[in-house]
Amino acid sequence: MHEKPIIQNILEIVKENARKEGINRVTKLKVKVGENSSIKTDVLRSVFESLSYGTPVQGAQLEIEKVKGRLDLVLESFE
């Protein structure tokens, strides 16, 4: 399952940037995943929910946009 390290990296980036910007609670993350990628969106969501527990990202909506190509995953934005 390669979704776990991907989500771990995204959460670290989001938590670090939220801290720098004085954001205490993240409510939404937008990511893009290539439709030909081997990333499974249902697993991605499950791992996100599990790893975000107890962090400022817990309960945030994970918005996943499928895009053409083999793009693995890109963090587009967070609120």
Phi, psi of 62 (to 5 degrees): -105, 105
**The one-letter amino acid at 74:** V
Tens of pLDDT along the chain (79 residues) come to 688 999 999 999 999 999 999 999 999 999 999 888 888 899 999 999 999 999 999 999 999 999 998 777 777 778 7
Q: pTM for the complete prediction?
A: 0.85
Domains and CATH numbers, the chain: 3-78 (3.30.2320.50)
